[in-house]
Amino acid sequence: MIGTKSLTEQREIDKSDVEFVRAVANGEERALASLYDRYSSILFGLLVRILHRRAEAEDVLQEVFIQVWQKAPDYDESRGRPFSWLVTIARSRAIDRLRSLDARDRLSMAAALETPEVASESADDEAIRHEQRDIVQSALDQLSEQQRQTLLLAYLEGLSQSEIAARLNEPLGTVKTRTRSGLKKLHGILRKNLDKLR
Amino acid sequence: MNHEDYKELLALDALGSLDDAETRALQTHLASCAECRGELAELRDTASALVYTLPYAAPHADLRGRILENIRALRSDTTQGNNNMPQSGETAQDTATATPTPPISTDDASLPSQQTSTVLPFTTRRREGTGRVWKYGTLAASLAVAALLVSLGVLWQRNRALQTELARLSAQTIDTQARINRMEQELAREREAEEIFAAPDARLATLAGTEAAPDARARLTYDRQTGRAIMFAHGLPPAPAGKAYQLWFIAGGKPLPGAVFTTDAEGRAVLRDQMPPEGRADPIFVVTLEPSGGVPAPTGDKYLLGKSEG
């Protein structure tokens, strides 16, 4: 059954991620290339979502991997899995880039809304990705509409809590409470399945 | 702030949503609270899982190579610098003695492209009575000269690395500029099309295929004010060599010539055109097959025919 198979594989992948990051900290280029091969499309997907433009997203993707190279020695396993570390770097770089562009650029970027080229992948990878997506999506579906919305706006769109409050026309305190309770609830649901996710 | 307050900050930190002051305050607390560190790690892993709901996207194929090149440029910088840190088990001693320093010269050809270490081996002091001061003097002088030569070598390498980087960045800038130009063009075209569709006096005409092309269809949107038009056609047979399709606006009984176009491999065409002023008031639209390059008056068979729905 694919679920059981990918569970064992995922554990192995997680362990090897940590080894890759350690190797990068040791100056091994090939380890960085391996991380790129494994995670560039998922990180690029996030960058395109936040930045709406391929050219910007590609610039930022380069910055991300350079930062990975430089900061690998600082990676601490006890603060979260390597994937979370990569995503945090990607998000920060993207949001910095987003904030440095002026308002006019941002409007035209939102209008451009390009559909990015979907990455080609093996049938196995695709199946694993669908399973991961389904696990997270069905967990998200168990949150209230408002909790889901604030989480996605904060994390995947890169909006600050104040920006979310302004957009939804809600008090800042309410938004913060929803964000907190939403993430905690999601954590509770996903807890059992966190092993299955890279 | 008490412990509960710090715990409240964890979820927002995991989502990257704390402001600078809050982040600093939390960092200070985390330094001494294992419970919060553990919970933060789990919340971070939960947050990053959200990324799985996004579609994957493929960056440009050459990005991988560019990143690795950048890394190499960075590496040759850091090994040139004061990097005496031992790598994986080697001691500083090993690094100093194991890697020989190559002869320094200003001749380009003799310098290796990758220098792994510029640690200068120290010569040991010899204790010998009267000659000591003189020997130390010479030693100091030769060390100074050697150090200067090493710095020269270091600067030379750095310069080469920077030149390479500059060349790379220039190439990238040209590439990026070309991209920007293309995107600006595309954007301008998209805006033009939007303006047609959104115009207050916009009209839609549906064209149907004639016996020559019964499956052909076209939708043509035009702005009566500006005369700008955009047409999406499909189902047209490919034009034979030397021929092309031409759009006509029939107004007041007279056919006014419009743009000439051909279809893609799938029989589709997107056409932007500018209608003459006399032809803007709800003409009949006709597409005929003409010699490529177009003609002032229609000569060929009709393929598409239609007018605005009102």
Bridge-based pairing state of the strands B228-234 and B269-274: antiparallel
Query: Which of B15, B43, B54 is facing A49, going by the closest CB pair?
Result: B54
> Minimal Cα distance from A81: which residue of B?
B45
Using a CB–CB cutoff of 8 Å, tell me whether A132 touches chain B. yes
The single-letter DSSP state of residue A157 is S
Residue owning tokens 């987003």: A98
Between A45 and A14, the higher pLDDT residue: A45
**B71 interface with A at CB cutoff 8 Å:** yes
Residue A160, SS3 per DSSP: coil
- Whether A189 and chain B come into contact, CB under 8 Å, resolves to no
pLDDT tens sequence across B36-49: 999 999 999 999 99
For residue A57, the chain B residues in CB contact (below 8 A) are 57, 59
> Is the pLDDT assigned to residue B271 strictly greater than 60?
yes
The torsion region of residue B302 among left (phi > 0), alpha (psi -120 to 50) and beta comes to beta
Nearest CB to A69 within list B50, B71, B187? B71
Chain B environment of A61 (Cβ under 8 Å): 59, 63, 67
Chain B interface disruption, residue of A40, A98, A115, most B CBs within 10 A: A40
Say yes or no: A117 contacts chain B, CB-CB below 8 A. Answer: yes
Instruction: Say what the pLDDT of residue B78 is.
Output: 62
Predicted confidence band of residue A9 (pLDDT cuts 50, 70, 90): low
Residue B101 has pLDDT above 50, yes or no: no
Provide the shortest C-alpha distance from residue B85 to chain A (in Å): 11
Q: What integer is the mean pLDDT of B245-266?
A: 90
Structural contact between residues A101 and A109, judged by C-beta atoms closer than 8 angstroms: yes
Query: B102 to each of B79, B92, B117, B240, how far by Cα in Å?
Result: 15, 19, 9, 70
Q: Is the pTM of this model over 0.95?
A: no
Q: Does A6 touch chain B (CB under 8 A)?
A: no
The band of A132, judged by pLDDT with boundaries at 50, 70 and 90, is confident
Closest Cα in chain B to A134: B53
Cβ pair A66:B14 closer than 8 A = no
pLDDT at A32: 96
Residue B110 has pLDDT above 80, yes or no: no
Closest CA to B160 of B113, B207, B201, B110: B113
Is A109 in CB contact (< 8 Å) with chain B?
no
Per CB-CB distance under 8 Å, the chain A contacts of B47 are 84, 87, 155, 183
Contact B44 A79 (CB under 8 A): yes
State whether B37 and A81 contact (CB < 8 Å).
no
Give the residue from A186, A85, A192, A76 showing the smallest Cα distance to B37. Answer: A76
pLDDT band at B280 (very low <50, low <70, confident <90, very high): confident
Q: Give the residue on A whose Cα is nearest the Cα of B76.
A: A27
How is residue B77 written in tokens?
Answer: 């910088």
pLDDT at site B218: 95
Under 8 Å CB pairs connecting chains A and B tally to 177
Could you tell me the pLDDT band of residue B139, with boundaries at 50, 70 and 90? confident
Residues 37-76 of A with CB under 8 A from B: 37, 40-46, 48-49, 54-55, 57-58, 61-62, 65-66, 69-70
- The residue with greater pLDDT, B209 or B190, is B209
Looking at residue B190, what is its pLDDT? Answer: 82
Within its chain, how far is the Cα of B196 from the centroid? 30
Find chain B residues with C-beta within 8 A of A187's C-beta. Answer: 42-43, 46
Higher pLDDT, residue B124 or B148: B148
Strand ranges of the sheet holding B302-308, from the earlier edge strand across to the other edge: B254-261, B243-251, B284-291, B302-308, B202-209, B217-223, B228-234, B269-274
Three-state DSSP class for residue A80: coil
Helix, coil or strand: residue A170: coil
Give the pLDDT score at B130.
Answer: 56
What are the C-alpha distances in Å from B1 to residues A178, B5, B6, B15, B248? Answer: 21, 6, 7, 21, 77
User: What ipTM goes with this model?
Assistant: 0.89
Per-residue pLDDT, B133: 63
Tokens matching residue B85: 């840190």
Structure tokens at B75: 């590496």
B63 touches chain A (CB under 8 A): yes
Contacts of B21 in chain A (CB under 8 A): none
Could you tell me which chain A residue has the CA closest to the CA of B86? A26
Contact A95 B74 (CB under 8 A): no
Q: Nearest chain A residue to B85 by CA: give it.
A: A26
Residue B93 is which amino acid?
Answer: Q
The answer to whether A197 contacts B14, with C-beta atoms less than 8 Å apart, is no
Site from B4, B10, B48 to mutate, A interface, most A CB atoms within 10 angstroms: B48
Give the model's pLDDT for residue A104.
55
Residue A3 has pLDDT above 60, yes or no: no
pLDDT of residue B81: 47
Of B63, B74, B75, the CB nearest to A62: B63
Q: Select the more confidently predicted residue: B148 or B138.
A: B148
Q: Which of B5, B42, B50 to mutate to test the interface with A (most CBs of A within 10 A)?
A: B50
pLDDT bracket for residue A5 (50, 70, 90): very low
Is the per-residue pLDDT at B264 higher than 90? no
**Does residue A152 sit at the B interface (CB-CB below 8 Å)?**
yes
pLDDT for A156-186, tens place per residue? 988 999 999 999 999 999 999 999 999 999 9
In this prediction, residue B309 carries a pLDDT of 76
